[in-house]
Amino acid sequence: MFNSRMYKKYYPVKSSAEIVNMDITDKRKLIKWLKSIIADVNAYNAQHRKQAESVRCKEYWFIDFHPDKEYIDSVCQEIITEPFSLTAKDILLVNFVLYRHKYAGIISAYHFPVLTTE
């Protein structure tokens, strides 16, 4: 079930030093995942809204995640150029994305793991 080598190797990222020490291929994969996270969340929320409407439920499970594209692009740029300047908020986003991709690809398409914030 767990298929993500990056999840096993890096999660949870505790400081920007861990991102500095990432392989370049892992950084590229992380940036690819970061750039697709907004679309992933929107697709997941739309799927659950559609399922709820089909059975006439007024409430449904959704992911409350609202970063803007500019912020994600700036985090990607910092990972490439100056990873030591990543803030705690940026590292939280990286952990969210790594957690999202912890399952094998086919399972990830249907199951979106959600971090608890407590």
Backbone angles phi, psi at 103, to 5 degrees: -95, 165
Looking at the predicted structure, is the pLDDT value of residue 94 above 50?
Answer: yes
In whole angstroms, give the CA distance from residue 49 to residue 51.
5
The Cα–Cα gap between 77 and 79 comes to 5
| Predicted pLDDT at 70 | 92
Give 118's pLDDT tier (boundaries 50, 70, 90).
Answer: very low
* Higher per-residue pLDDT: 62 or 26: 26
Can you give the pLDDT at residue 104?
55
Query: Average pLDDT, whole number, for the chain?
Result: 80
Question: Which pLDDT score, from 0 to 100, does residue 117 have?
Answer: 47
SS3 call for 51: helix
- Region 6-29 average pLDDT: 86
* 70 Cα distance to chain centroid: 16
